[in-house]
Structure 1
Amino acid sequence: MFTCRIYSPITQKMKYGKFMLAGLAVGLPVKKAYNYIYGDEDLIYKNYGNGCYAMVIGANDSIGEGFCKALAEKGINIVLVGKSQHNLARIADEISEKYGVKAITWFFDLSKATDTDFKALKAKTDEVEVSMLINATRLGVLKPTHKLSHNEVEGMINTTTKSLMHLLRLYLPELDKRQGRSAVIHLSSLLSISPVPILSLYGATQAFVRYITMGLSEEYSSSIDFLSYEPGSLIPENAPQELSSWKTAPLEASIAQALKDLGRKRTSYGHFKHELLAGFLHIAPTKVSLRFFYYLLNQQAEQLKQARQAKQSKSV
């Protein structure tokens, strides 16, 4: 027997309404989970902006400059600290003109800084309210340990570990007592996850940064958001295509993701490529990761050697 069903507009609306409710029931939790994992950039200004300053150490280096531009784009004022006054002035003028933020520059060489130098920097920044401290410096020398000079050893340790602790000693009290939340981002590396041949001292300094950041993230969890930023090799988005490889990631995209992770995670690898590499290093036996790094770093050393030889032959 044939049955004819007639759907009224009201019945159809009820049917579609059920589908919409089902979609919301599934979609909202998924969206909430996505935002928790990948973050919301707008929270940067809400949590740490409102006329405050982010102090970027190593602002004249590529990663430091990337942080300056990314934060200025969100309306955060910047204190640029580095050892090239010319580059600092260039970056400060660029972000002030493009984004309308305030920018202060301060010449500072972490590898040679004394207690007097740190106190002078602190006195300068006492004139403004610093809500974010970003240490974007790391120094590595690609050569066997027995070939490192005295100055190279001192430079790596002073730049990465000693200077970081002196900055924390001076700035943590004020970051801790601010009415709103503060933030500290420490640049580390994928090499902090596992022991590294050839770059042993560099890897050890990066592990130091990772460990101190993790410990402080719990110690100051009620007032300061700590993030250990641990990318691998980064290249600018406009870099020549031949520089891109399976182990490199775009600088700008990596920094953007790190800022999204701030306040939600304690560790960020930036780009998904480096997150996958980090996952491998976390589960791989130490012997395997050592062999992996030994192959990669020997390959990189050979490429640098060939580049130097090619440059020397052109200059002759």
Structure 2
Amino acid sequence: MECCIFSKLKTQPLWFLILFSLGFITLLRFSLIFLKWVFVNFLRPSKNLKKYGSWALITGPTDGIGKGFAFQLAGKGLNLVLVGRSPDKLKAVSDSIAAKFGKIKVVTVVVDFATSDLDSGMEKIREAIEGLDVGVLVNNVGISYPYARFFHEVDEELFRNLIKVNIEGTTKVTQLVLNGMLKRKKGAIVNIGSGAAIVIPSDPLYAVYAASKAYIDQFSRSLYVEYKKSGIDVQCQVPLYVATKMASIKRSSFFVPSTDGYAKAGVRWIGYEPRCTPYWPHTLLWALAYSLPESVVDAWRLRFCLGIRKRGQLKDSKKKE
């Protein structure tokens, strides 16, 4: 049977053989891509995170994705250093983790990345991790706009806080924790990026936020190349919408995971690719966005964000009444 097929192919004109070969190569390529996608999303085991060290440091751990990571990493047997701005919320999360996991040690550090002197904040973190083998760092702290707005409508305080929290805070914490990882020649750094900076071609009315997350992506990739041979895995995780207060989404769905659902997927990917979208339904949306012309995605996103801006302005006006 195979001989007959090859015999028939030999009798075909050259143009047909070229098209057949190109089609076969394309089909083979997409088959391999699909098989890899299935493996990494459903079959590949998570790494033993204790090999990096017995402690994990998480910024912004009192709510949202950061809180989800705190519980997931505690479940993996890692002790935690939780860095956040609210002493009461830090205590609440710490107590909940202690009640659920018992033997897990939790150290809390109060740092407000937006208003504190970051140098004094870094000193607090340095003192807290002295002598601890912090093997996993999750840079989750971040802020966005209260609601969509044009760039000229971004006030000075919001502009300053976006850069200070999303860029300066992540950069300084990374440099601080990285020093210990270099001494031990092992570590995993996870920086939480955003689909707003990577998946879609633009994020109108959220320009500064999207740009700050683009910094996180390039920062992560560059560190991945710099320190891979030093035993340190650096990764930028790229979530799309997650049911968080920052995203103003209360209910989870198939394409919008809960914070625990996202964090569970996120932990599975630590130590692998330098850029990833851990929650697999998000990869379908990413593929859809890439398949459409950029002008179409830009137009949809602008219309969508204008709707958010209008609703936000109505809420503001009602508050002032």
Asked which structure has the greater CA Rg, the reply is 1
Contact kept, 8 Å, 2:193 with 2:237, in 1: the verdict is: yes
The range that moved more, 99-108 or 249-258, is 249-258
Q: 1:280-295 residue pairs with structure 2 within 5 A? A: 280-295=288-303
Would you say 1:192 and 2:194 are equivalent positions? no
Contact kept, 8 Å, 2:107 with 2:128, in 1: the verdict is: no
Would you say 1:201 and 2:204 are equivalent positions? no
| One of 128, 134, 138 as aligned partner of 1:130 | 134
Q: 1:53-202 residue pairs with structure 2 within 5 A? A: 53-100=55-102, 101-112=104-115, 113-141=117-145, 142-179=148-185, 181-193=186-198, 194-202=201-209
> What is the rounded CA distance, in whole Å, between the counterparts of 1:279 and 1:32 in structure 2?
15
Contact kept, 8 Å, 2:109 with 2:124, in 1: the verdict is: no
Would you say 1:270 and 2:278 are equivalent positions? yes
Match of 2:257? 249
Contact kept, 8 Å, 2:84 with 2:110, in 1: the verdict is: yes
| TM-score w.r.t. length of structure 1 | 0.79
Give the counterpart letter for 1:105 in structure 2: T
> What is the rounded CA distance, in whole Å, between the counterparts of 1:109 and 1:88 in structure 2?
12
> What is the rounded CA distance, in whole Å, between the counterparts of 2:152 and 2:235 in structure 1?
33
> What is the rounded CA distance, in whole Å, between the counterparts of 1:37 and 1:275 in structure 2?
10
- Does the C-alpha gap of structure 1 residues 302 and 174 become closer, same or farther in structure 2, counting only changes over 3 Å? same
Contact kept, 8 Å, 2:90 with 2:108, in 1: the verdict is: yes
Give the counterpart letter for 2:90 in structure 1: L
- Does the C-alpha gap of structure 1 residues 299 and 128 become closer, same or farther in structure 2, counting only changes over 3 Å? same
The range that moved more, 280-289 or 82-91, is 280-289
> What is the rounded CA distance, in whole Å, between the counterparts of 2:50 and 2:36 in structure 1?
19
Contact kept, 8 Å, 1:195 with 1:204, in 2: the verdict is: no
Contact kept, 8 Å, 1:37 with 1:264, in 2: the verdict is: no
> What is the rounded CA distance, in whole Å, between the counterparts of 1:150 and 1:161 in structure 2?
16
Long gaps (5+) in structure 1: 1-29
Q: 1:12-23 residue pairs with structure 2 within 5 A? A: none
- Does the C-alpha gap of structure 1 residues 36 and 234 become closer, same or farther in structure 2, counting only changes over 3 Å? closer
Root-mean-square deviation over aligned CA pairs: 2.8
Shift of 1:295: 2.2
Long gaps (5+) in structure 2: 1-33
Give the counterpart letter for 2:149 in structure 1: K
- Does the C-alpha gap of structure 1 residues 33 and 165 become closer, same or farther in structure 2, counting only changes over 3 Å? closer
| TM-score w.r.t. length of structure 2 | 0.77
